[in-house]
Amino acid sequence: MAAAPLCDAARRALLSDGYVVTKREGQSLSGGKEFQVEEKSHAILQVYITCEQRVGGSTLFVTATEEHFDVKTSSETTLIGLPLLAPISFGTSS
């Protein structure tokens, strides 16, 4: 099998599984997919694929990285004015 159809088959497999695929130079591509692990915890899986033409066929190299991150919230309150007469408070959350 030639390298181009092999790389195209890998691209279609990633797309059918919900990955966002970007083409890189030559016969290389990468795809990424985000997963929600828990309520505020996420993971991103990046897959890197390289297809090479070899004597008698072609070879597909696949590597992947996985990143985890958490979404955290914080709140702040600011008081403006005289505390006893007319306190005004502003709250923000991010």
Q: Which residues pair with 89 in a beta bridge?
A: 79
Q: Confirm whether pTM is higher than 0.75.
A: no
CA-to-CA distance for 12 and 46, rounded, in angstroms? 16
| CATH, domain range 3-75 | 3.30.310
Domain ranges of the chain: 3-75
Give residue 12's pLDDT: 93
Q: Vertex 18, ends 16 and 35: CA angle to 5°? A: 150
Q: Do 40 and 72 touch, CB atoms closer than 8 A?
A: yes
**Structure-token match 């790389």, residue found:** 7
The radius of gyration of the chain from alpha carbons, rounded to an integer in Å, stands at: 24
Give residue 31's pLDDT: 94
**Residue-by-residue pLDDT tens, the chain, 94 positions:** 688 888 889 999 999 999 999 877 778 999 999 988 888 889 999 999 999 988 888 899 999 999 998 887 776 766 666 666 666 655 555 4
CA atoms within 13 A on the CB side of 36: 4
Give residue 74's pLDDT: 73
The alpha carbon of 49 is separated from its chain's Cα centroid by a whole number of angstroms, namely 16
